[in-house]
Every structure is written in structure tokens, then in C-alpha cells.
Amino acid sequence: MAAGTLLTEVLPREHIIVPLRATTLREALDLLVARLEETGAVRDSAALRRVMEAHRARDTVQIGSRALLPHYRTEAVDSLAMAFGVTEQPIVVNGGPTKAVRIIVLILAPPTAATLYLQTIAALARLFHDETVTERIVHATSPDDIIELAEISSLRIEPRLTVRDLMIHNADHVSMDQTVRDAVDVMVRKRVRALPVVNEQRQVVGIVSEWDVMRALLPQVPRASDEEESAAQPQQPLRVRDVMTRSVLCISEDMGLVEAANMMLNKDVEQLPVVSEGKFSGLLTRSDIIRKLFGR
């Protein structure tokens, strides 16, 4: 796949349903799964439905304002399979705005096809971020209208994965002026061990980790003999700027995933802030690389 695979090579016309007559996400997925079953793309229907039910929310991502990509790794298929649908009316997703979703693309892949699976999701994400393309897609009236769109017929699934393809978009972060307590609350709530520190211009100015917090707060833990004195002299709350590590390594969205992973290993870090044009745009974590490349 040195030159990339055309999207149409993994998305045959018979896997496209236009219009997709569904009013809920569950109905839409049932129709798309049924189409894949009819064409023989699914080997074990019961196994597929168990996987989808168990991971329905985790493995569904919205791209742009109108497209939804439910994607699952499952042994119910022998090779990557896709089903593409355009609903007649917007559907509600997790209680979201009714104007949101019209395009639903179901992507299934066996565990052994991790790279192609992620490359396909990345290619579709780039496609659906273009509002002019999604506008033409939602006005399609037949599968042929979809196949004949130049952006669809020429779209290639690139063989090189980048940081952008696996990073966490809209990742949590804190400002220098927030309290350490604020940062700890976010870490606990989101179950993360560190947070990028971002200024008003969205530039990354540091990182605050569990280790930074422990190192700063441990000297303030009162001993039994000091409890009364500490209570009488309350201390000002520590700010993130007081404890953060100011030297932080950032990577760009366009960096190759292999290069970024090697950097993580060489520097022995679990996550790296991602920047685009000098501004914070997301986070790449070691656990996400492992889960998305090798997870079920």
C-alpha cells in the first residue's frame, strides 16, 4: 500500500445506503450492519452485535458538524468493511442538537488490521472536516451520487499515520493562574497523570504532573506538633505556575506516529502536548497509541 489505497476499494457501491431511513443512531447502525451482513462482509453477526453493544459510546466519534464514525475492532469480519449512509433527517446523538448528524459511516476491522483501520478513520476525518464536501454529501439522493463525488472517488487512504490521526483533540489543560487544587481535581476526574499548561494565546508554557504536585505539597503537610500553628497561619493557595515544569517537549500534528512513539520511548514520557502553528491542539499519550493500535 505504498501509494495508498483508494477509498472506493474498501467502500463498494452496495455498501452505501442513500437515503438511510433511520431516526435514531441505533436504527441507523442496525440498517448498516444488515447491509454488511447481506453482502457477506460480516462472518459472525452475533459476535459483531455483542462488540457494538459493549463499546457503543467509546468507539463512536463525531467529525465536523454532520458526520459520525462508529468504528469497531472485531473478529466478526475477516477484513476491513465499511457501510456508508446518509439519513433523510438529522438524528439525535447522545442527546445532542438535532441539527448535528446526517452522515454515518460504520467501519469494522479485524484485530490484525489495526493500521489500515486507523488510516481509514484518519482519511474520512480529513474528508468530513471539509464543510463544502459534507454539504454535497447530505444532498445526495442515491449511492451513485456518493461514488461520483470527486472527493470520494479520489480519496486515498494514506499509508503513513501521523500524530493527528491518534491524538486526543480538545484535550484537557490548565492555565498558569489556576490553583494546584484545580489541576488535581481535573487529573482525578479525567484519570490523567499530567496536564499541559497553556497561556491565553494557547501556547504551551509548561506541564504539571502528579510528581510536580507531590514535590510542591509534601513540605506543606503539617506534622502533629505543627497542626495548631498551621491552622493559625493559613497559607495562600499554590498556583499552577508555582509547581509546573516549564521545560516541555511538544510535537506537531504532522509528525509521523512512529517518530513520535520513538521520542516517547527515548525521553521516557507517557504523553506529549501537540501543537499546530504554535498553538496547543491536543495530546498524544502512550496508552492511546497502545489501545488504538493493539487494543480490541
Give the domains, in start order, of the chain with CATH numbers: 5-158 (3.40.930.10), 168-294 (3.10.580.10)
Distances (CA, A) of 231 to 235, 236, 237: 9, 12, 14
DSSP SS3 for 280 = strand
List the single range of 191-195, 217-221, 281-285 with lowest mean pLDDT: 217-221
Establish whether the linkage from the previous residue to 19 is cis, with ω within 30° of 0.
Answer: yes
**Structure confidence by residue, pLDDT tens digits, 168-180:** 888 999 999 999 9
Q: Tell me what pLDDT residue 250 has.
A: 96
**Structure confidence by residue, pLDDT tens digits, 197-244:** 999 999 999 999 999 998 888 766 555 555 555 555 556 788 999 999
- Alpha-carbon distance of 116 to 1, in angstroms, equals 10
What mean pLDDT value characterizes the chain?
Answer: 86
- Alpha-carbon distance of 23 to 171, in angstroms, equals 31
DSSP SS3 for 237 = coil
Band (pLDDT 50/70/90 cuts) for residue 1 is: very low
